[in-house]
Structure 1
Amino acid sequence: MRAPFPEPGSSADVPALFLTYLDYYRDTVADRVTGLTDEQARSSRLPTGWTRAELVTHLAFMERRWFVWGFLAEPVPDPWGDQVDGRWHAPAGRTLGDLVDALRRGGRRTRAIVEATPLDTPAALGGRFTDPARRPTLAAILFHVLQEYARHAGHLDIVRELIDGRSGE
């Protein structure tokens, strides 16, 4: 059973608050694709054509782009590997379970980064960011990634309802 939606409260531990919400939305994404067949995960019900497998892949790559390649400036293989010709892409041969596992591994890496770093720390130079004046802080990155997860979790709520009537919040 998934945890209930985290209610904001007084919290002096802002990093923990960000991580709680990120975990919630990551779990929501995993929940919205659980039980789908490979065909359901890799076919589209939308005019834009994106699939659930592509969205999960996008979120895993997006999180890695922002925290590992972006914030830490660590080299990563193919940071834009979720996109081909400007469209989302999910690698063939990977199951939906594999894609969700990659999403969760990325979440564990994010947690380790956030728990070890003050929020006002600017991103390192050399990965995604090369201009010292334009590099964001860890707090700004967290905020961006959180809104990205929330937005796409909502997309998955709607698409899942179209598939089998199951709805989210």
Structure 2
Amino acid sequence: MTTERIEPPFAADETAMLTAWLDYHRATLLLKTEGLGHDRLRERSVPPSSLSLLGLVRHMAEVERYWFLSVLQGQEFEEGIFWTKDDEDGDFNQVDTADVEADFATYRTQVELARAAAAGLPPETVGKRPRSGEEVTLRWILVHMIEEYARHNGHADLIRERIDGATGE
């Protein structure tokens, strides 16, 4: 599947701008994975790190679910999609036998659910962190998600360059 990445606008209202930047970073992560076989997507960055491109995709599926469905919408989940109480880093640790197509489909589904959860809401909309009850605005969630993707896209840049020398934005 070819990923289309759209440059964020230079002028837009706050929600449109933040959403555009988030979508840009979502697309960037997928671009970093394009053209690689399953084994390459599972390759770890450098020992002892468990980072891999597939692990980053799985992790971001978890992050999308947490911030938009749990925090913003108040949905409760006992365990993660990929992590469990026995392996809280299962999104990264359990990639060796993972179903790559299913994991990418899960990621795309979580992104669509996140978009739907935030659609039409003003940035002042408040959600609550499940354990602490701490209030968090949609504005904060959007900014945090951009930061989270930007950091992990830097990891993806380095992993991809190590795998096959590919570089670029």
Distance 2:94 2:19 in 1: 26
2:5: which partner in 1? 3
CA contact (8 A) 1:5 1:24 kept: yes
2:60: which partner in 1? 59
Q: Tell me how far 1:3 sits from its aligned partner.
A: 2.7
Give secondary structure in 2 for the equivalent of 1:123: strand
2:103: which partner in 1? 99
Structure 1 vs Structure 2 CA RMSD: 2.3
Q: With structure 1 as the length reference, what TM-score do the two structures score? A: 0.83
Give secondary structure in 2 for the equivalent of 1:142: helix
- 5+ residue gaps, structure 2, are none
Which structure 2 residues correspond to residues 132-143 of structure 1 after superposition, within 5 A?
Answer: 134-143=134-143
Q: With structure 2 as the length reference, what TM-score do the two structures score? A: 0.83
CA contact (8 A) 2:123 2:137 kept: yes
CA contact (8 A) 1:71 1:122 kept: yes
Following superposition, which runs of at least 4 residues in structure 1 exceed 6 angstroms of deviation? none
Matching residue within 110, 113, 117 for 1:109? 113
Distance 1:100 1:123 in 2: 27
Distance 2:166 2:42 in 1: 18
- 5+ residue gaps, structure 1, are none
Percent identity reads 28
Instruction: Provide, for residues 21-74 of structure 1, a one-character-per-residue CA deviation record: whole Å limited to 9, x for no partner.
Output: 121111111111122222112221313232221111100001101110111111
Distance 1:27 1:67 in 2: 18
2:27: which partner in 1? 27
1:144: which partner in 2? 144
1:118: which partner in 2? 122
Give secondary structure in 2 for the equivalent of 1:15: helix
Instruction: Provide, for residues 90-127 of structure 1, a one-character-per-residue CA deviation record: whole Å limited to 9, x for no partner.
Output: 46654323222222211111211222311101104xx6
Q: Tell me how far 1:151 sits from its aligned partner.
A: 1.0
Q: Tell me how far 1:144 sits from its aligned partner.
A: 0.8
